[in-house]
Amino acid sequence: MTHNFAQRADGFANTLDDRLERINSTLDTRARQISETLVARTREQVGPDVELMVDAWTSLDVETAVRLGEALRPYRIKWLEDYLLPDDLAGYARV
């Protein structure tokens, strides 16, 4: 039983999209609070002069990225990295 590479890649992409959709739907208020707590504690430990960077591992959608960014604003992170998939140019424009 052989599958060509394109079919396997499409199947993987669909599976990944499904998983990311589930992750995004579970990044609710509680998950954002946990993320904010981690960043707040880090800011407290390193002080105001250290730049903080957060990597979201391309796991967010536009709405979640904006909400998380707003929640982290008081901690002056330098950037929120890889919050959307790299080819989501429309999403980056909306953020």
Tally Cβ neighbours within 10 Å of residue 18. 10
Q: What is the Cα–Cα distance from 58 to 63, expressed in whole angstroms?
A: 13
* Backbone φ and ψ of 60, nearest 5°: -110, 160
Tens digit of each residue's pLDDT (9 = 90 or more) over 42-65 = 999 999 999 999 888 888 889 889
pTM above 0.85, yes or no: no
- Rounded to whole angstroms, how far apart are CA atoms 70 and 49? 20
- Per-residue pLDDT of 60-87, as tens digits, reads 889 889 999 999 999 999 989 998 999 9
* Contact predicate 55/81, CB 8 Å: yes
User: Which tokens in the block code for residue 47?
Assistant: 């002080």
Instruction: Read off the pLDDT band of 93 (50, 70, 90).
Output: very high
- The CA distance from 94 to 43, in Å, is 28
